[in-house]
Amino acid sequence: MSAPAMGTTKTAPNDGSHKKKKGPGTLATAYLVIYNVVMTAGWLVIAVGLVRAYLARGSYHGLYYSIEKPLKFFQTGALLEILHCAVGIVPSSVVLTGFQVMSRVFLTWAVTHSVREVQSEDSVLLFVVAWTITEIIRYSFYTFSLLNHLPYLIKWARYTFFIVLYPMGVTGELLTIYAALPYVQKTGLYSVTLPNKYNFSFDYYTFLILTMVSYIPLFPQLYFHMLRQRKKVLGHVEEYTKVE
């Protein structure tokens, strides 16, 4: 539509005090610290579960089943992060966060959970491992940041590990969706055909293919954004060390 859409403008309360309110209040901070600690712990549980299952079985195959429940629980729990942005206690964009979380939740429930046949695929392990390492680092990063005590190692890890983990995760995700395709087509999973009383149709198989195609423009953008962030965040430290 063409009329200009004006976003809501937040006016800072001018109560005469000169202190600027930075970030969330103390209650919100406490809540966020607890949230991030719980998430870090949860993904550690998944990591430990993967390692233990691997040692017990002696193979990479079928490790998904050993961490299925905590994976579903903690990945779905990340939906709260959208709420955090919407309420304003986290300064990220609702749309961006929503998009990222929904894509994870989609893969967890609408692909891996829904299409049993892909659960034993190795591609599932690929993205689960990528997610696990990424999330452990990310949530501990947030925890330390909130407590104003961020070890450089965590910051470095957060802005470096993604270089390998991101493509690894994307590969795992794409291969898993691809593996699900024949089963979706055969069973008509989540699909609606005409005729019906609401004059609507949906082909999940085509939808999955379009999802895979959407990675092509989206992944490079996100990846290069992270690379630029890395230069910005880690680059400054290098400059300081150069100072004599």
Partner 1 sequence: MDTLALEATLPKKAQPTALITGPPVPAPTKRKPAKKTKKAVVFFEVEILDAKTKDKLCFLDKVRPTSTKLCAACYPQWYPARQSIRLDPKGKSLKDEDVLQHLPVGTTATFYFRDLGAQISWVTVFLTEYAGPLLIYLMFYFRVPFIYPPKYDFTTSKHWVVHLACMCHSFHYVKRLLETLFVHRFSHGTMPLRNIFKNCTYYWGFAAWMAYYINHPLYTPPTYGEQQVKMALIIFLFCQIGNFSIHIALRNLRPPGSKTRKIPYPTKNPFTWIFLLVSCPNYTYELGSWLGFTLMTQCLPVAFFTLVGFIQMTVWAKAKHRSYLKEFRDYPPLRSPILPFVL
On whether the CB atoms of residues 171 and 126 are closer than 8 A, the answer is: yes
Q: Confirm or reject binding of residue 12 to partner 1 (CB under 8 A).
A: no
* Nearest CB to partner 1, comparing residues 198 and 240: 198
Q: Confirm or reject binding of residue 6 to partner 1 (CB under 8 A).
A: yes
Q: Confirm or reject binding of residue 243 to partner 1 (CB under 8 A).
A: no
Give first-to-last CA distance, the chain, whole Å: 57
On whether the CB atoms of residues 44 and 38 are closer than 8 A, the answer is: no
Among 55, 194, 216, 243, binds partner 1 (CB under 8 A): 194
* Nearest CB to partner 1, comparing residues 47 and 94: 94
* Nearest CB to partner 1, comparing residues 3 and 153: 3
Phi then psi dihedrals of residue 202, to 5 deg: -150, 130
- Torsion angle (degrees, nearest 10) of CA 167, 170, 171, 173: 160
On whether the CB atoms of residues 156 and 91 are closer than 8 A, the answer is: no
- 158-to-41, 76, 194, 201 alpha-carbon distances in Å: 17, 21, 48, 42
Among 13, 16, 58, 195, binds partner 1 (CB under 8 A): 195
Residue with tokens 């699900």: 180
Per DSSP (E only), the strands in the chain are: none
Binding string, 196-235, against partner 1, x = CB under 8 A? xxxxxx----------------------------------
State how far the Cα of 62 lies from the Cα of 121, in Å rounded to an integer: 7
- In the chain, the amino acid numbered 30 is A
Residue from 64, 173, 204, 205 carrying the catalytic annotation: 173
> Is 60 known to be catalytic?
no
Q: Confirm or reject binding of residue 4 to partner 1 (CB under 8 A).
A: yes
* Nearest CB to partner 1, comparing residues 20 and 197: 197
On whether the CB atoms of residues 37 and 13 are closer than 8 A, the answer is: no
> Is 190 known to be catalytic?
no
Residue from 31, 54, 166, 190 carrying the catalytic annotation: 166
- Part of the chain binding partner 1 (CB under 8 A), chosen from 11-19, 157-165, 183-191, 193-201: 193-201
Residues lying near partner 1 in the complex (CB under 8 A) are found at 1-6, 194-201
Catalytic residues: 166, 173
